Structure 1
Amino acid sequence: MSSVVRLIRADNLAETPYAYAATAPAGSRLIFLAGACPLNDDGSTAAPGDYAAQAARCVETLKGALDVAGADLTDVISTRVLVASTSQADLVTAWDVIHAAFGAHDVPSTLLGVTVLGYDDQLVEIEAIAAVADG
């Protein structure tokens, strides 16, 4: 099944590794996902201290939540990536993993450095909204 999400490019703006906007047609069902956290099956935080490994685990968590909701990564219409760090290099490390997971579906995204996240040793979290055909 093809995604209803349409990514919008902006040739008159700076070149970026993501679309500037995205739309879904009227009648689409929006899916608002809780922040995908880097949690192991037992609830512990995966890979303490490792931004890349936590980002990868967040992607797996996000994929699982999307699957339960009847969607996949190509149905994501926007993301917000939260990284607990004041170092731009740490943010880029997490972003590179997440961006690679989305491949050609480079959704509009916001990348933020934050002070702290909710779980012990948590460094990365991905918020997402997806859109699928209704019915």
Structure 2
Amino acid sequence: MSSAVTLIRSSSLSDVAEYAYAASAAVGSRLIFLAGACPLNEDGTTAAVGDYAGQAAKAVENMRIALADAGASINDVISTRVLVASSKQKDLGTAWEVVRAAFGDHDVPSTLMGVTVLGYHDQLVEIEAVAAVLDS
């Protein structure tokens, strides 16, 4: 199946960023808007309390499940927003490294943000995503 997502690179902007600066969805594709993927265990408890990398990994795992339930995969993601409950760039970087590694060569446009607090008790990381798929 061909992809509905085209990553767009810019030769006019810095090449320091580890992701495409833009992406487009093919005409006729179905867009999927995911709620923020949280680092929650199946029983509703927060995974990896106090661990930015561990929570990022669990959020990615949960995002993959939500994508699959919507008929998509991580390679169908068109953009992300990664929220990290910290004012320290080191903590943001720790979470980002896990998320970035999960996407591999599919380096979608992303925004990484430090926030004051997230919705669940002990939650440090949340990942919002939009995906696009071509239904057959």
Query: Sequence identity, in percent?
Result: 70
Q: Does 1:46 align with 2:47?
A: yes
Shift of the alpha carbon at 1:33?
0.3
The match for 2:128 is 127
CA–CA distance in structure 2, aligned partners of residues 44 and 116 of structure 1: 17
SS, match of residue 122 in structure 2:
coil
Structure 1, residues 40-94: CA drift from partner, whole Å, max 9, x if none? Answer: 1100000110000000000000000000000000000000000000000000000
CA–CA distance in structure 2, aligned partners of residues 71 and 22 of structure 1: 17
- The 5 Å alignment of 1:28-43 reads 28-43=29-44
The match for 1:73 is 74
SS, match of residue 49 in structure 1:
coil
CA–CA distance in structure 1, aligned partners of residues 74 and 3 of structure 2: 9
CA–CA distance in structure 1, aligned partners of residues 36 and 92 of structure 2: 17
Q: CA RMSD in A?
A: 0.7
Unaligned runs of 5+ in 2: none
Runs of 4+ in 1 over 6 A off after TM superposition: none
The match for 1:3 is 3
Q: Residue 9 of structure 2 aligns to which amino acid in structure 1?
A: R
Unaligned runs of 5+ in 1: none
TM-score scaled by length of structure 2: 0.97
- The 5 Å alignment of 1:7-18 reads 7-15=7-15, 16-18=17-19
SS, match of residue 131 in structure 1:
strand
Aligned residues: 135
Shift of the alpha carbon at 1:4?
1.4
Q: Residue 95 of structure 1 aligns to which amino acid in structure 2?
A: W
SS, match of residue 99 in structure 1:
helix
Q: Does 1:116 align with 2:112?
A: no
